[in-house]
Amino acid sequence: MKSIRHVIGGVETDSADGGTFEDVDPYTQEAYATVALGGAREADEAVKAARKAFDDGPWPRMSFEERGKLLHRLADLMDEHTDELALADTRDMGKPITAAKSKDVPRSALNFRFFADHARLSESQHLPSATGHHTYVQHAPAGVVAAIAPWNYPLMLETWKVAPALAWGNTVVLKPAEDTPHSAYLLAKLALEAGIPDGVFNVVHGFGPGSAGEALTVNPAVDRITFTGESGTGKAIARAASANLTPVSFELGGKGCNLVFDDADLDSAVQWAVEAAFGNAGQVCLAGSRLYVQQGVHDEFVERFAQAATALRLGDPKDPATRMGPLASEEHYRKVTGYLDGEATGHAKVLGGGAAPGWFVRPAIVLDPPAHSPVLREEIFGPVVTVTPFATEDEAVKLANDTPYGLSAMLFTENLHRAHRVAGSLNSGNVWVNCFFVRDLRAPFGGFGASGIGREGGAHSKEFFTEARTVTMRIATA
Ligand code: NAD
């Protein structure tokens, strides 16, 4: 049995009381590692280590070049350890190994390269004035960052937070999701190997409420909280953070829409709709889980979409040919399959789908469920998609916006004017036209409404992870 430990102040440690929990592989349904179970004590120790590294250590005082060199070295080490990092996420949450190796790990290493370079090349405002004053803006690192992450893209979403925080000179305590602690542990060890000083990047394991997660959110020595997870958890963290007025950045849940118009390139629309609905077994905040299809192509689209969904290969996520693994945990499997009963679907017709042996769920397509059915209103976070027909562009936009969430939207049309018109009418932080999941790391990422608070990415991460300081100097005119 492997042992996954905290990394605090540059040292691998167990919890003070020796507490552990099991890391279960959802494919074998057996524990393959024990994980140190952190509580308030370990969270506070990690914050103390990060505080010390920030207040007294070299990290925030290094030049962007020096810090960038170490972050690039970490990215290189991640490339060298791709197989190990990918396998960690695959064993923790059932993600197909091919996706973990070809997408998650390379993008995670890119997060470090991108933010190291972005910080180094970033400019600040200089405001000369004719009145004999010169104003300029400095961006000081914010301090200690608590990063709390979900389980669906463990390494990718952790590094999306850790990389910009470090690049801007902060120190970090990361709490990975309890279901996926392994890759964060490996990352912390690689950071030490890269030469990142002790205490700059700490990892503490544990749960949320009453555990390490909550302890991080109430610690007054934490200067920023960046959180990705459910909208309900976001509310709890916002309440906790308000006691110390700690600034928060939240990337929360979604119920993404995908609009397919009569004039769409159907081959492309079907291919992307399958990826958006069933990629990562639908465990994607950005998933296109509400499909709206114009009447003229509805029947043909549904037929081709269902065929393509049925062809997805389910199996051992460690097999390179597998496209869909099991769901990440037994609890999540029960939640997702609960959405396939008649009450949740409003007794709508369901094509395919359903529980398979193990914690597998086959792709499920729910046809035209009633407007208020839970399957259409709530985030399911599994391979369950609804398909609703529409007649006009206005109707499509109205249906798409009829949700408290606003994280992702897709639309398929060959009409340029319609593409711009509709994209500009959707209440969504991300809109993809004739594609999906294409990310430019300079662009803001986040959501409208219940999908988040704030944006991260490029200059937006800079804004969150730094304190702006305006300096105004009088320049004697004679
Ligand atoms: P979750 O909210 O249950 O847990 C996320 C993290 O928060 C875990 O590390 C957990 O231990 C911790 N946590 C839970 N309660 C806490 C508390 N009271 N205080 C501090 N920490 C606490 O979410 P999840 O099930 O791990 O992830 C799935 C959710 O994440 C979905 O809603 C999905 O849409 C969302 N998500 C959003 C994005 C995005 O970019 N917007 C990306 C991925 C996932």
What is the number of the ligand 1 atom nearest to the C-alpha of 445? 40
pLDDT per residue as tens digits for the range 256-309: 999 999 999 999 999 999 999 999 999 999 999 999 999 999 999 999 999 999
8 A C-beta contact, residue 410 and residue 431:
yes
Q: In this predicted structure, what is the pLDDT of residue 42?
A: 98
Q: Residue 322, by phi and psi: left (phi above 0), alpha (psi -120 to 50) or beta? A: beta
Active site residue: 257, 285, 393, 456, which one? 285
Instruction: Output b/e per residue, 433-468; b: 16+ Cβ within 10 A.
Output: beebbeeebeeebbbbbbbbebbbbbebbbbbbbee
Residue 5 reports pLDDT greater than 80: yes
Active site residue: 251, 275, 379, 456, which one? 251
Q: In this predicted structure, what is the pLDDT of residue 330?
A: 95
Task: Find the mean pLDDT for residues 181-209.
Answer: 98
Nearest residue (by CA) to ligand 1, atom 22, is: 208
Residue 353 reports pLDDT greater than 90: no
Q: In this predicted structure, what is the pLDDT of residue 141?
A: 98
pLDDT per residue as tens digits for the range 97-117: 999 999 999 999 999 999 999
Residue 478 reports pLDDT greater than 80: no
Of 228, 231, 289, best ligand 1 pocket probe by most atoms within 8 Å of the beta carbon: 228
In the reported structure, the alpha carbon of residue 161 is separated from the centroid of ligand 1 by a whole-number distance in angstroms of 14
Of 42, 104, 148, best ligand 1 pocket probe by most atoms within 8 Å of the beta carbon: 148
Cα separation values, 474 from 128, 135, 138, 140, 366, Å: 11, 9, 17, 22, 67
Residue 40 reports pLDDT greater than 80: yes
Q: In this predicted structure, what is the pLDDT of residue 131?
A: 80
Q: In this predicted structure, what is the pLDDT of residue 129?
A: 83
What is the number of the ligand 1 atom nearest to the C-alpha of 151? 26
Q: In this predicted structure, what is the pLDDT of residue 476?
A: 80
For this structure, is 435 an active site residue? no
Residue 175 reports pLDDT greater than 90: yes
Q: DSSP string covering 52-87, please? A: HHHHHSSGGGS-HHHHHHHHHHHHHHHHHTHHHHHH
Name beta bridge partners: 150.
none
Task: Find the mean pLDDT for residues 376-380.
Answer: 98
Q: Under DSSP, is residue 231 helix (H, G, I), strand (E, B) or coil?
A: helix
8 A C-beta contact, residue 211 and residue 39:
yes
Q: In this predicted structure, what is the pLDDT of residue 132?
A: 85
* Mean pLDDT score across all residues of the chain: 97
- CB of 248 closer than 6 A to ligand 1? no
In the reported structure, the alpha carbon of residue 149 is separated from the centroid of ligand 1 by a whole-number distance in angstroms of 6
Name beta bridge partners: 412.
260
- CB of 332 closer than 6 A to ligand 1? no
pLDDT per residue as tens digits for the range 304-336: 999 999 999 999 999 999 999 999 999 999 999
Task: Find the mean pLDDT for residues 64-90.
Answer: 98
Nearest residue (by CA) to ligand 1, atom 23, is: 229
- CB of 164 closer than 6 A to ligand 1? no
pLDDT per residue as tens digits for the range 132-171: 899 999 999 999 999 999 999 999 999 999 999 999 999 9
Q: In this predicted structure, what is the pLDDT of residue 65?
A: 98
Task: Find the mean pLDDT for residues 212-217.
Answer: 98
Of 47, 233, 384, best ligand 1 pocket probe by most atoms within 8 Å of the beta carbon: 233
Tokens of 146: 């608590």
What is the number of the ligand 1 atom nearest to the C-alpha of 254? 34
Instruction: Output b/e per residue, 229-245; b: 16+ Cβ within 10 A.
Output: bbbebbebbbebbeeee
What CATH number was assigned to the domain covering residues 2-252+451-471? 3.40.605.10
Q: In this predicted structure, what is the pLDDT of residue 354?
A: 85
Residue 73 reports pLDDT greater than 90: yes
Looking at 3.20.20.60, 3.40.309.10, 3.40.640.10, 1.10.490.10, the CATH number of the domain 257-433 comes to: 3.40.309.10
Q: In this predicted structure, what is the pLDDT of residue 140?
A: 98
- CB of 250 closer than 6 A to ligand 1? no
In the reported structure, the alpha carbon of residue 411 is separated from the centroid of ligand 1 by a whole-number distance in angstroms of 27
- CB of 237 closer than 6 A to ligand 1? yes
Q: In this predicted structure, what is the pLDDT of residue 273?
A: 98
Nearest residue (by CA) to ligand 1, atom 1, is: 229
Nearest residue (by CA) to ligand 1, atom 16, is: 208
Tokens 């020796």 sit on residue: 18
Q: In this predicted structure, what is the pLDDT of residue 317?
A: 98
- CB of 181 closer than 6 A to ligand 1? no
**Domain spans of the chain?**
2-252+451-471, 257-433
For this structure, is 303 an active site residue? no
- Lowest mean pLDDT, pick from 302-311, 334-343, 356-365, 468-477: 468-477
pLDDT band at 62 (very low <50, low <70, confident <90, very high): very high
Nearest CA-CA partner of 34 in 15, 61, 60: 15
Residue 477 reports pLDDT greater than 90: no
